[in-house]
Structures are given as C-alpha cells and as structure tokens.
Amino acid sequence: MTKIIKEMLPPDVRVARDTQDLLIECCVEFINLISSESNEVCNREEKRTIAPEHVLKALEVLGFGEYIEEVYAAYEQHKIETMHDSLKGGKWSNGAEMTEEEAAAEQQRMFAEARARMNGGAVVPKQPESDPSLES
C-alpha cells in the first residue's frame, strides 16, 4: 500500500508515517465494507460464492456507483492478464518448456528424493517401469 500511496503523489510530496498508517487503515476498512456488503448481496441471491457481480452491486448499494465502470474495466483487464498468463504457462512457469521425456525424468528424480527422505536418507533404488509405447 505504501508503494501505491507514493506512486499516486507527485515526487516532491512527502507523506508522514502516521498518515500512511491512516490511509492503510482506511483501505482495510473499505475492503471490509465492500466484502461484507458483497456477502450480503450474495446471500440474498442464495449463492455460496461471491462473484464479481456481487462486488459491483455492493458498490452501487453503498453509494459508490460512480466507480463501477472503472472497477469493471480493471476486472476485465485482470481477466485478460490472467488468461494471458495461463496461456504462457501460468505463474509457475519459468519460460522454459520441458519435453515430455524431460518432465517424466524430473518427476522420477523428485519421487526418488521423496522416497529417500521418507526412508531416513537411505536411497532405495526403484526400477523404472518400461513403457511399451516408448519401445521400438
């Protein structure tokens, strides 16, 4: 939050520490308020999961209707970025692609390490099962 506060102000403006703390507390209270109202909207619709539509409705109910368009645009941008991330491998991807064989070898290595840890450090060799589809 401190980074966001600093990015929103001109570079020559300083913010006192207690002012930063107050702004952070305001943000927390705002999130609590929106979450609580979103939950009530969700319950009125007899749903069990709060959806983005519930948050937008909560903003309207609480008198923040002028922000709905901007919030919805941010939500749409988030969906696009999330979809883009999942297409390129998600947050766990390091950008390097593994072949199926490399992935299987890595998996076997990790299994062997886990077996060794479970056996108190003693490495118990396990014969790899042959895959008839790989034999020629």
Total domains in the fold of the chain: 1
Per-residue pLDDT tens over the stretch 58-110: 999 999 999 999 999 999 999 888 887 776 654 555 556 778 888 888 888 88
Collapsing DSSP states into helix, strand and coil, what is residue 72? helix
**Does 104 fall in a domain?**
no
Answering whether pTM is above 0.85, one says: no
pLDDT(37) > 90: yes
Average pLDDT for 41-55: 96
Give whole-number Cα distances, 90 to 3, 52, 94, 109, in Å: 25, 22, 9, 23
**Does 27 fall in a domain?**
yes
Task: Name the band, by pLDDT with cuts 50, 70 and 90, for residue 130.
Answer: low
Strands (E), 50-131: none
Query: CA 45, 50, 51, 56 torsion: positive or negative?
Result: positive
Give whole-number Cα distances, 43 to 8, 31, 47, 77, 133, in Å: 36, 18, 6, 27, 53
Domain of residue 19, CATH code: 1.10.20.10
**Does 106 fall in a domain?**
no
**Does 121 fall in a domain?**
no
| Residue closest to 39 by CA, chosen among 18, 11, 61, 58 | 58
- Range of 51's domain? 1-92
